[in-house]
Chains A and B, each alone.
Chain A
């Protein structure tokens, strides 16, 4: 099983839709999780960290399910500008700050 797995998509949704992505991870000892956004040929940018209790930032909500070993990202009221690839990431073991990324899920929001 891959360390971090995501459905590559693409997810094609109309503006205003709600869309959710999941990301599964294999190491049950993983502690820190993140969602990054990557635009085409650009660098990953941190969207949000994922806390055990779940967290929300405007239209974005992140959840962690430790029992099933997945994290999720929910985007409400999708905008055209949300079109991007969303990368799930977690810290590797060893406390060196190494990030392990998933393949990414591509979202295309259409007018």
Chain B
């Protein structure tokens, strides 16, 4: 069964450093998403991406965040200058041609900012 993959599985960084989280969506999917989940809290939408541009972003997704699809397979989330409160699990998701459900989630990257 096709799956979304994410690297790294864990990342520890110092406050103020830049991090790039990587995702490989399912190959024939066209809609891509990033979500985050702070420990003990709900899954929160960050951004949706279609046709090489952001289609929607949340209030969380401020100027410190950016997304990119640098080639035909990868989808990245960059946090330019990490803050302590960016510590969370970051999930990438993708969905098929129509953007209809289901959205398939990757296993996540656990980010810890010290």
User: Which residues of A line the B interface, CB within 8 A?
Assistant: 32, 34, 38, 41-46, 49, 87, 92, 94-104
Contacts and interface: CB of A to CB of B under 8 A. Distances in A.
A32 B48 contact: no
B108 A96 contact: no
A42 B107 contact: yes
Contact of A97 (B43, B99, B105): B99
B65 interface: no
18 contacts: A41-B89, A41-B110, A43-B108, A44-B43, A44-B91, A44-B105, A92-B56, A94-B56, A95-B99, A96-B50, A97-B33, A97-B50, A97-B55, A98-B45, A99-B33, A99-B43, A101-B42, A104-B42
B102 interface: yes
A98 B55 CA distance: 10
Interface string B69-110: 000000000000000000001010101000101111111101
A38 to B, nearest CB: 8
Interface residues of B, number: 27
A103 B106 CA distance: 19
Main secondary structure of the interface of B (DSSP, over half): strand
Contact of B105 (A45, A94, A104): A45
B43 A101 contact: yes
Q: Which of B44, B45, B99, B107 has the most CB of A within 10 A?
A: B45
Interface string B4-48: 000000000000000000000000000101010000011111001
Given A43-B108, A94-B56, A99 B103 contact: yes
